[in-house]
Amino acid sequence: MSFLYREIGAMVRSNHPTLYDDSRLGESSFPANRKERAREIYCNSLAISNPDMIADLYWQETGLTLAQVYEVFDKGDWLLGRHQYSYGGPKWAAIAGADLTPDLCTTC
């Protein structure tokens, strides 16, 4: 989760204007310090076993839920006129979406 939020910290308004405006990224120092802040949140979450509580720490910092992070990576424009992804995009959407899919194991 730390790396997902570290990556989403690179988001600019052009990637997904609606979710950017709904987030705290434009008004916080998280984007400028995304690597350090993601690491700090990770370290602060080590004693927490509830994934929802861990996700809440990142939401408090960025204003984005994990589902919104998925949407930004999946539906957002991460090419921004380039021919390859520098940040975000389909591979990051697949990682963010992995936790959002229903449990496929019915015998576990």
pLDDT over threshold 80, residue 105: no
Among 83, 82, 1, 2, which residue's Cα sits nearest to residue 39?
A: 2
CA angle (89, 83, 74) in 5-degree steps: 15
> What residue ranges do the domains of the chain occupy?
2-98
Q: What is the mean pLDDT of residues 25-39?
A: 96
Instruction: Please give the pLDDT value at position 99.
Output: 67
What are 46-82's pLDDT values in tens digits? Answer: 999 999 999 999 999 999 999 999 999 999 999 988 8
3-state secondary structure 70-84: HHHHHHCCCCCCCCC
75: Cβ contacts below 8 Å, ≥ 6 apart = 16
- Read off the pLDDT of residues 74-104 as tens digits, 9 standing for 90 and up: 999 999 888 888 888 989 899 998 866 555 4
pTM of the model: 0.85
